[in-house]
Structure 1
Amino acid sequence: MNTWSLGVDREGLPFAKRDLSADEVVAIFGPHISTTAANQLLRILHGRRVAGTLDDPALRVNTMVFSAEHQKRALEYLRSRVPVDEIANAGLRAEDELAALENGAAGDEGGQAEQPGSGPEYGTRLKLYRETDSKPAAKDSKPAAKESVYGPSALDAIRAQKKAQWEAELERREAERKKREEEERHGVAGPLQVADKPPVRQLSPKMQEYMRKGQSDLKEPPKMKKWQRLLPSAAFVVAVCGLCLAFAVVYRPPKRADRLFPDIPPAAATVGALMLANLIGWALWKIPPIWGFLNRHFIIVAATPRAPMMLSAVFSHVSLLHLLQNMAILWFLGVRLHDDIGRGPFLATYFASGAVGSLGMLTWAVLRNRLDLCSLGASGAVYGVGAAYFWLHRFEYFKIFGLPPPPSEGIQGLALLALAAGLNLSGYFTAARFKVDITSHLVGMVAGIVAAYLLERTRPANQQQSARATHRDSLAKAPSAAKA
């Protein structure tokens, strides 16, 4: 393959009116390829589809930098969005190659042999690859085109039109740039900025210093074996679960007179304290001088894990929306679970689910060599609390905001558990897996179900019946959710 063909192949063909955005690239290819590289790969492969050169080994030098998985995903995307008859184009390309070989053989007989694929008239009917003359031509000269027996190519006409439009656009941009530079040089005020492009706010030097100190100096993850990354955190989580189990067994609630806030129900006080702790954790992220401390101790980093992070990250939120979502679920289901099982088992379930969920996320990231991942938030603990509650009431029926309407009895707790698990599992097949820690959700649910199972095995039957009766009374008074 000649160098001109390689150059045209490297440019490729536009596959859409605009390039893919960063979010679209992540959804199609994953996070391990830049937006520019992904769009370049799509243009190259689309050009080959049109030219019929997908299987040409001489062109693979232009795609060697891309992984086989990225090339596979790019072809799947192009074939689903931009239909092209690749087989027909490959056939036309093969006919052109055969014709070039025959022309070369004819040249041999006439004493003017040329190598197949060489010569200015060698090309394809699609005219994506055409070699220039071996001698440099004048700037204004045009190579003599051999008339095709198939008539003029529609692709040539489209390409010429697009090329002319692009050259005109480049000239317009260059003229605008020169005019703008001239105005700036002579102090002429430019036009008002477009409203949909707000000016980029420059960070103050002090804020830039805080950001620099808050970041790690590591150029790459430390060289460690998988078990070296996981073992300390796993041992810490086992210890936390053991302490939670002991606390659930030995804890006895104080008398009303000994409580700090006797007028507040125990469930509301306990859940409210957890919500306050999470709110403080969110507020700490708004203090730039302590960003470095928070990055080291309140966020799980797969590349440099620390054992205490398995628990401290449970009380850490950066996004206010993330905090509000978790706290709303914790209040709605946490109070009811607390009424069912008491303060000791409730706190044990919360902390154990959060720690086990964090360990699950770390294990998943390390085993898949995703050392760039990090996670924080109370989602694992909240999912554990919700799973424990619905497991204890798995055969009972629930109505949320009066839905489903009569005559339906409602939705079983077991069905709600399956729905939550299914929604999280489906997230693994969408772009949500790059933004949401789905693994900690699922592992936290498993931890909550195990905690509820252990409670059922250890609690007396009469205590369970009394707790469920109390739960039914409290739920009947709640306007937001009621059992059928």
Structure 2
Amino acid sequence: MWRNEPVITYVLLVVTIGMFMLETAMGGSTQVKVLVALGARYNPYIAFFGQWWRLVTPIFLHIGIVHLLVNMMSLWFLGRMTETVFGHWRFLAIYLVSGIVGNFGGMIFDSANSVGAGASTSLFGLLGAFLMLGDNFRHNPAINAAVRQFAIVVVINLVFDLTQPSIDIAGHIAGLIGGFLIAGAVGVPRVGTIRRVKRVLMGVLLIAVPIILFIVDGTGIM
């Protein structure tokens, strides 16, 4: 059961829904003070008080029931598929690293110092992981067919983001790129082999690009 069932996906669902219940018990998931208290992304607290854990905790927080339902449905479908392809621990690494990179991107490009929360950065990372498969295993017909569908989903979501001023499009794009890079770095033995040089390069880019952005930005807030 452990090897064949997407247990990490189930755990992520339970933890995220549990956090939403805690948000509700503390006063409501749309209350800024509740979100900030539970670890939502808030630039001043990260950049000036060193609360870098706020790049992780927003993955498990949501603003309103619709936000939660949409993301949990996406996690149910994308998570099970990604975990089956990559395996339990690689999937968890992709999910968490994508979320962190996405929240970092949201922090860097959010000049309004808004409060950010949601699993969307991680979910875009799962889409990025499948785009990585398409890039490295383009001669596999089954993978090509799946990747084309995921590419359409990515385009639709990004176009939708452009029409919604309240959506963190920078975080979504950063999560997508982060998912692509971390998926290549950890590899996918269940599908095939990625050249070691390419895996190392993707890992280096995953670490180097955020550091360069932060140094260029100075304070961490553009």
Select the residue among 114, 117, 121 that pairs with 1:376: 117
Letter in 2 for 1:307: W
Task: Normalising by structure 2, report the TM-score.
Answer: 0.70
8 Å CA contact 2:127, 2:154 repeated in 1: no
Distance 1:393 1:428, change over 3 A: closer
Structure 1: where are the runs of 5+ without partners? 1-262, 399-409, 467-484
Q: Do the aligned partners of 1:424 and 1:441 also contact (CA within 8 Å) in 2?
A: no
Matches within 5 A, 1:58-457: 263=1, 266-288=4-26, 292=33, 294-305=35-46, 306-365=51-110, 369-371=111-113, 373-393=114-134, 395=138, 412-427=145-160, 429-430=162-163, 432-433=164-165, 435-456=166-187
Identity, % of aligned pairs?
23
Query: TM-score, length-normalised on structure 1?
Result: 0.34
Inter-partner Cα distance in structure 1 for 2:79 and 2:125: 10
* Structure 1 residues 266 and 275, CA gap change in structure 2 (3 angstroms): farther
Runs of 4+ in 1 over 6 A off after TM superposition: none
Which protein has greater RCO, CA pairs closer than 8 Å, 6+ apart? Answer: 2
Aligned to 2:203: none
Q: Root-mean-square deviation (CA), in Å?
A: 2.9
1:349: Cα distance to partner? 0.7
C-alpha displacement of 1:295: 1.9
User: Does the 8 A contact of 1:333 with 1:389 survive in 2?
Assistant: no
1:21-50 Cα deviation digits (max 9, x unpaired): xxxxxxxxxxxxxxxxxxxxxxxxxxxxxx
Inter-partner Cα distance in structure 2 for 1:429 and 1:350: 24
- Structure 2 gaps, min length 5: 194-222
CA distance in 2, matches of 1:370, 1:314: 20
Q: CA deviation at 1:445?
A: 0.9
Give, in angstroms, the shift of residue 426 of structure 1: 3.0
After superposition, give the CA deviation of every residue in 1:346-389 in whole Å (9 maximum; x if it has no partner). Answer: 11111100111011101011xxx322x22101111111123213
Distance in 1 between residues matched to 2:191 and 2:161, nearest whole Å: 37
Q: Against the structure 1 CA distance between its residues 268 and 294, is the aligned structure 2 distance closer, same or farther, given a 3 Å change threshold?
A: same
Aligned residues: 183
Higher helix share: 2
CA distance in 1 between partners of 2:144 and 2:86 (Å): 22
Task: Answer yes or no: is the 8 Å Cα contact 1:391–1:413 preserved in 2.
Answer: no
CA contact (8 A) 2:55 2:103 kept: yes
SS at match of 2:94: helix
Distance 1:464 1:397 in 2: 12
**Aligned residue type for 2:152:** L
The Cα shift of 1:267 comes to 3.5
